[in-house]
Amino acid sequence: MSVRQILKSKEILAVVPDSRKAQAVKACFEGEISPLAPASILRKHPNATVYLDNNSASLLNSALQSSA
């Protein structure tokens, strides 16, 4: 599926486990919205939920970690 097609969904749920994804999670939530971090566009969707485990959230700044 393309990003454009995914964004047409009424609701988006993403589950991101494991430390291998920590850098991508950081880019998604702390970087600019950019094609270099495709998941960052989820920040613009009105009904997107991202579930992280402690490992995938490990590189987020502490303010984002505590809101997770």
pLDDT tens digits along 4-63: 999 999 999 999 999 999 999 999 999 999 999 999 999 999 999 999 999 999 999 876
CA angle (40 as vertex; 36, 42 as ends), nearest 5: 140
Give the SS3 label for residue 14: strand
Task: Please tell me the predicted confidence (pLDDT) of residue 27.
Answer: 96
The rounded distance, in Å, linking the Cα atoms of 40 and 43 is: 6
